[in-house]
Chain A
Amino acid sequence: MTSAAEPVRKLPVRGAARKAARVRPYSLTGGRTRFGHVLLVETFVAALDAPEERRELTNGNLASRVMPELHAIVELCRRMRTVAEISALLKMPLGVVRVLLSDLADQGKIRVYGTGHGTGQPDRALLERVLNGLRRL
């Protein structure tokens, strides 16, 4: 593109500045996936597939069939990860990661473990445990 002499006259292109152009045309409500998983920033997820797939990553077969972002998430999730970690390590915005994770969970590629205490405020027993844990630091 040549530099516009009169940038004022150029019409804005919808979505031109968007990094996340691959977001699916649906959105999640309240961090909930279609099957009812809740994806908070600290929700744990991990991959369900066998790790042999890893080899295919280098010869490009898989990349041509699967969105590379989805594949990158599955790879990262060989280890237990939180939603926020995936977003940070793959440098993808949180909202995008949530949508992709929701897809992967629906496809049975990842398992959503949740937070272990639902999505409400922790109860007294859990607060006691956190307090004791912090005291031991």
Chain B
Amino acid sequence: MKFLTWATDPWGKAVPIHAAWDLIWVALIAGLLFMIVHALYVAIAAGPKVFAKNEAPAAAAAAVPERVPRHSLAARLFHWVMAASMLTLLFTAFLPMVGVRFNWVLYHWIAGLVLTVSILFHVIHSTFFMDFWSIWPDRIDVRDAMRRTFRFLGKPAPAPQRFAKYPLENKLYHLVIVFAGLAVIGTGLFMMKRIQTIFFIRNPYIFSDMTWGLMYVLHGLAGVGLIALVMVHVYMGVRPEKLPITKSMIFGWMSKDFYLEEHDPERWAVEKSSTAKKRGYAASDAD
């Protein structure tokens, strides 16, 4: 199977023009396979989660409120706006490829701008108003990932610690989404120069045909990759054991029990604040 579609430009040079759209099916199948394999693994092979014995001291546990705040309203709004724009982008991009006819370009670039603005907001918000480093993998994550791998392979290794605010899987997913998202946004903004919008005078000659071609290829490959990534994300979001995390993205908080079961208070500290106490919430970086 070819990964790229090539064409000959007016000067006789072969230039890539976009990713091969058969990759849509590859992404769909890859996403589907991941779900099936993961579901089978969890149902058949995976044992109960085992963490190192580092439960919070009774006094510290008592200080944890019944509702542990995880995502502020701003963070949740960002997430759902981004999700809506991402789904719009994927559907408007790929439905026409499978024969559904509609005026997709208009909706696509509008959704792209919504995504861009929401991500700009997220970057500023997470940098200055949240615990910026909480979403990036750290040394403990790497060490615990190795421990879990060894234990899965039956080799002796200490049990991993409980998670910080985000499990390593969340952090890695975020990392991949950052790259894929920046690729589609960066290329997409330039591609707006090639269509009629209210923002630019159309001019395809700001780059060479080869540069444009590579840009379209990168946009397409990242877009196709996002199909699988979004499928996996939605699947994880509806898995029973992940529902408390999903609910926290809707309501903003997770239960004390789930927090103490999965998260390490030393790595993600929460405590009742004076105002939060009145609402039965705790103060954390999400406040």
The reply to whether chain A is a binding partner of chain B is no
